[in-house]
Amino acid sequence: MRGLLAKGQAMNKGTETKTIAMPTRLVRDWGDAVMRHCDYCSRYASTVSDEEGGAICAECCDAKHTGDLKCALEDSLQRNAQLIAALEQAQTERDDLKALNQHLDLSIRQAEGVNASIRRRIAELEASQLSVKLPDYRNSPDMHTKQYYEAIGFNQGLDACIEAIRVAGGKVEGSE
Ligand SMILES: [Zn+2]
Cα–ligand 1 centroid distance for 63 (angstroms): 9
With cut-offs at 50, 70 and 90, classify the pLDDT of residue 141.
confident
Residue 130: predicted pLDDT: 78
pTM greater than 0.75 (yes/no)? no
Checking if the pLDDT of 120 tops 50, the result is yes
Distance CA 132, CA 168 (A): 12
pLDDT computed for residue 175 by the predictor: 65
Q: How far is the CA of 72 from the centre of ligand 1 (A)?
A: 22
pLDDT tens readout for residues 76-85: 999 999 999 9
CA of 61 to the centre of ligand 1 (A): 7
Identify the CA nearest to 155 among candidates 170, 142, 139, 133: 139
Going from the Cα of 47 to the center of ligand 1, the distance in angstroms, rounded, reads 8
